[in-house]
Amino acid sequence: TGTPSEGTIPLTSPRPMAEGPRGTLLMATTTSLYDTGLLDFLRPDFEKEFNADVRITSQGTGKAMELAKRGDVDILLVHDPAREIAFMDEGYGINHRCFAYNYFIIVGPASDPAVIAGMKPEDAFRKILTEGIKGTAGIAFVSRGDGSGTHAKEQAIWKAAGFNYTVDVQKTGAWYIEAGKGMGETLVMASEKGAYTLTDEGTYLAFKGNLQLTPLIEQGEILRNVYSAITINPDRFPNQNATLANQFITYLLRDTTQQKIASFGKDRYGKGLFSALQGADCVRFGCDCTALAGG
C-alpha cells in the first residue's frame, strides 16, 4: 500500500480562490484514462471553482511517470499499482490517492477457439498459452507489450497463473503477439487477427463498433483496475504547483465528483465506465483512505 507523504503544503486550502491570478495545473495521465473522456468531463467544474487551467497531457504510463519524475508536470494520474509504489518510495510524489476503479475484460472472437468464455482469468490465460504453444489453428493473443498499466496487469495475470513472463510467455511462438502500442490499436489488431486480448472496458466500448471481438471474461478479482492520483513532491521541484494539485485530488474525492465519475459514460454506453472509490470500497483495495479535510 502507498504511504501518505508528510507534505509541507496543506492538503486542502481553506476556500477555493475565486479571483486573483489564474493558476495552471499541468497533469500527466495515461492514454487509456484520458481517451475515455473522463478527465475532460471533470475538468470544467474544477477550473471554474478554482480559477485555474488544467492542462492535461496524455502519455504512455512510463512516459507519464518520466514526466512526473522530471518535474515537468504537477500531478500524475495512472493505474499501475506496483510502479506507483516504487514512485512513492523514491520520493517523487505525495498525496497518493485512489479515486476510481473498474475491471479489465478479456475479449476475443465470438467463435472463441480456445473456449475460455466465463473462465477464471488465470485459467483462461493458461489455456490460451497451452493451445497457442501447441500451435492450434486460430489461437492468438495480442499483448499491449508497451509497459503500460494494462500490460502490467497482463503480466500480473500470467504470474498468478504460474508463469514466468519472460521465459514462459514471451517469444514462445507466433501465438503471442507483442504489439507495442496503445489500447485502441491493440484492440484493432486483435480484431483483425481474430485474437484474444486484455483490455480496459472503456476503450473496448469506444472501439466496439469497429471490432469483431466480444467480451469473454468480465469477472475475477485479478481483473480489477484501480486509478490513482499523485501530487508531485514539491520538495524536489520548487516551482511545483502542489497546492492546485492537491486541490484537484481533493476535488476528485469529493462525493459530488465521485458521483459524476460513477455516472460517466452511462448516456453513451448504457453503463458507467468507472466505479466510485471512496467510502467502504477504499480500504478493500488497499488504498489510502484518510479523509481529507475540507474535501
Q: Which pairing describes strands 75-78 and 214-217: parallel, antiparallel, or unpaired? A: unpaired
Cα-only R_g, the chain: 20
Q: The cell 497457442 sits on which residue?
A: 132
| Nearest CA-CA partner of 39 in 105, 103, 100 | 100
Nearer of residues 240 and 250 to other proteins, judged by Cβ = 240
Nearer of residues 164 and 219 to other proteins, judged by Cβ = 164
| Smallest separation (angstroms) from other proteins to the CB of 31 | 6
Q: Can you tell me whether residue 28 is helix, strand or coil?
A: strand
| Nearest CA-CA partner of 255 in 127, 129, 99 | 99
CB 116 within 8 A of CB 108: yes
Nearer of residues 67 and 282 to other proteins, judged by Cβ = 67
Nearer of residues 181 and 224 to other proteins, judged by Cβ = 181
Nearer of residues 191 and 278 to other proteins, judged by Cβ = 191
Q: How far is the C-alpha of 171 from the C-alpha of 166, rounded, in Å?
A: 8
User: What cell was used for 247?
Assistant: 486541490
Q: How far is the C-alpha of 203 from the C-alpha of 93, rounded, in Å?
A: 28
CB 205 within 8 A of CB 217: no
| Smallest separation (angstroms) from other proteins to the CB of 178 | 4
| Smallest separation (angstroms) from other proteins to the CB of 260 | 18
Nearer of residues 78 and 277 to other proteins, judged by Cβ = 78
AA identity, residue 285: F
Q: How far is the C-alpha of 8 from the C-alpha of 233, rounded, in Å?
A: 10
| Smallest separation (angstroms) from other proteins to the CB of 208 | 8
Q: How far is the C-alpha of 183 from the C-alpha of 188, rounded, in Å?
A: 9
| Smallest separation (angstroms) from other proteins to the CB of 182 | 5
Q: How far is the C-alpha of 262 from the C-alpha of 182, rounded, in Å?
A: 24
Nearer of residues 70 and 134 to other proteins, judged by Cβ = 70
| Smallest separation (angstroms) from other proteins to the CB of 120 | 28
Under the rule (CB under 8 A), what is the footprint of other proteins? 26, 31, 35, 40, 53, 55-67, 70-72, 145-148, 171, 177-185, 187-189, 191-193, 203, 206-207, 209-210, 212, 237, 239
| Smallest separation (angstroms) from other proteins to the CB of 271 | 18
